[in-house]
């Protein structure tokens, strides 16, 4: 039945690995493509094919949330249901008029296997606050899940009377209509829900199935489903949510940058840049955020801006070795040899005693005709890693 019972008491989980993130992004884009395909097939009256497309989208983990919201949601875990039920029960005692607490308490009871108590809890809540659409909806959801469809339908109808825009009540009402064989009514409600949430593969799938049922009953059917457009307000909310998670752990950006070029759409990195910029508005003196912002700018081909971001990071923290090394590489790639040399030297003084840093510095010395310094840098690289083949070859070529 509609709307799985949500679990309260969420906590932070570990960050996604590059492989997990890559799979997540691919699935999200493939699912969105399948939803768009399903809508086109639905409007063409090809209901079996539309059903297959929407089913594929759901298998891929389709969601009607924006990409930043989706990623942020994947970083959040869930708590234990028995403890949650006790916590929300205390909240209800403290604030009996708080509908959110009453809903969470009932959901916690349901998740703990106490369906009867959950339903009775919501019945009391509805009596106390009969004008709350969400209370009617949640009670209807639990009634439908226990196959009390007649009463559930009344609850969903009441929820829509109070709030005409509640998409979940439209979906649930359609399912109740389907349970009593009223496919035509189900299609009407589902078309209204699909217009509100065109990204949602579940709604598309239900609409295709209801339209097919009408067709099998010999009824005339014509579906007008909507293609999803970018929801800028949802994107903004998602970016704000994701920015706070990245602010707490900026190294999560490494997972994005580990994805090979060409493997994901450039829009992913544009979204990530917007997310970092939002975080920097809150913490303009956060050197690490400037550094990561610079790396994303470089990935987007905006090298001058990338240099500016990393210079800001070093201005805030002159010993920030990662930013110093990044600047060395950026200057080397833009033929600013002296600036690159300076930044690599500063990185080493700040503690970046790494073989590859000495090797890159050796190359810069060599290119400037400073053979002795180049030889010393290559030897230092080999002292750190005696199997560093590139440094071995550079040193041998220098000797010749």
The β-bridge relationship of strands 11-12 and 76-77 is antiparallel
Predicted confidence at residue 11, as pLDDT, reads 33
The answer for residues whose C-beta is within 8 angstroms of residue 227's C-beta and 6 or more apart is 36, 39, 40, 198
The answer for residues whose C-beta is within 8 angstroms of residue 187's C-beta and 6 or more apart is 174, 207, 210, 211, 214, 221, 223
Instruction: Tell me the helix, strand and coil percentages in the chain, rounded to 5.
Output: 75, 0, 25
CA–CA separation, 160 vs 230, rounded Å?
A: 26
Instruction: Report the candidate in 178, 181, 179 with the shortest Cα–Cα distance to residue 190.
Output: 178
How many angstroms from the chain centroid is the CA of residue 31? 14
In the three-class reduction of DSSP (H, G, I as helix; E, B as strand; rest coil), residue 14 is classed as coil
Beta bridge partners, 12, equal: 76
Predicted confidence at residue 111, as pLDDT, reads 84
Predicted confidence at residue 234, as pLDDT, reads 59
Note down pLDDT in tens along the chain; length 400 residues. 333 323 333 333 346 666 777 777 777 777 888 888 888 988 999 999 989 988 888 887 766 656 666 666 655 433 333 444 444 344 444 445 567 778 888 888 888 889 999 999 999 999 999 999 999 999 999 999 999 999 999 999 999 999 988 888 999 999 999 888 899 999 999 999 999 888 888 899 999 999 999 999 888 888 888 887 755 665 677 788 788 878 888 888 888 888 777 777 787 888 889 999 999 999 999 999 999 999 999 999 999 999 999 999 999 999 999 999 999 999 999 999 999 999 999 999 999 999 999 999 999 999 999 999 999 999 999 999 999 999 999 999 987 6
Predicted confidence at residue 136, as pLDDT, reads 93
Residue 94 corresponds to which tokens in the numbers above?
A: 């403290």
Dihedral (CA of 47, 51, 57, 63) sign: positive
Residue 243 corresponds to which tokens in the numbers above?
A: 């920015």
Instruction: Report the candidate in 218, 220, 219, 194 with the shortest Cα–Cα distance to residue 208.
Output: 194
In the three-class reduction of DSSP (H, G, I as helix; E, B as strand; rest coil), residue 69 is classed as helix
User: What is the CB neighbour count within 10 angstroms for residue 26?
Assistant: 14
Predicted confidence at residue 393, as pLDDT, reads 94
- Say if CB 337 and CB 369 are below 8 A apart: no
């Amino acid at each position: 039945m509609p709307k799985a019972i949500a679990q309260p008491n969420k906590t932070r989980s570990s960050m996604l690995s590059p492989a997990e993130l890559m799979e997540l992004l691919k699935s999200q884009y493939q699912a969105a493509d399948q939803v768009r395909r399903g809508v086109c097939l639905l409007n063409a009256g090809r209901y079996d094919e539309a059903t297959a497309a929407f089913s594929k989208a759901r298998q891929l983990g389709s969601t009607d949330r924006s990409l930043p919201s989706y990623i942020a949601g994947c970083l959040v875990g869930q708590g234990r249901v028995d403890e949650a039920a006790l916590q929300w029960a205390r909240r209800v005692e403290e604030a009996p008029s708080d509908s959110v607490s009453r809903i969470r308490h009932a959901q916690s009871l349901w998740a703990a296997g106490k369906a009867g108590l959950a339903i009775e809890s919501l019945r009391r809540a509805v009596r106390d606050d009969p004008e709350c659409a969400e209370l009617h909806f949640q009670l209807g959801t639990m009634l439908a899940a226990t196959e009390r469809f007649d009463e559930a339908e009344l609850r969903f109808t009441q929820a829509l009377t109070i709030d005409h825009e509640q998409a979940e009540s439209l979906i649930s009402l359609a399912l109740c209509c389907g349970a009593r064989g009223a496919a035509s009514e189900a299609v009407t409600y589902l078309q209204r829900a699909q217009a509100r949430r065109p990204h949602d593969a579940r709604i598309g799938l239900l609409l295709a199935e209801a339209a097919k049922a009408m067709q099998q009953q010999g009824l005339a059917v014509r579906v007008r489903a909507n293609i999803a457009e970018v929801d800028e307000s949802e994107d903004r909310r998602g970016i704000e949510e994701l920015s706070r998670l990245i602010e707490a752990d900026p190294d999560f950006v490494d997972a994005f940058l580990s994805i090979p070029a060409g493997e994901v759409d450039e829009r992913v990195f544009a979204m990530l840049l917007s997310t970092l910029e939002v975080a920097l508005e809150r913490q303009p003196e956060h050197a690490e955020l400037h550094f990561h912002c610079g790396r994303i700018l470089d990935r987007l081909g905006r090298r001058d801006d990338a240099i500016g971001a990393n210079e800001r990071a070093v201005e805030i923290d002159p010993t920030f070795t990662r930013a110093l090394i990044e600047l060395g590489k950026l200057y080397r790639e833009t033929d600013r040899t002296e600036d690159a040399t300076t930044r690599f030297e500063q990185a080493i003084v700040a503690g970046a005693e790494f073989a590859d840093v000495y090797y890159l510095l050796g190359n810069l010395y060599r290119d400037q005709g400073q053979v002795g310094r180049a030889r010393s840098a290559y030897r230092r690289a080999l002292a750190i890693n005696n199997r560093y083949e590139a440094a071995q070859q550079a040193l041998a070529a220098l000797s010749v």
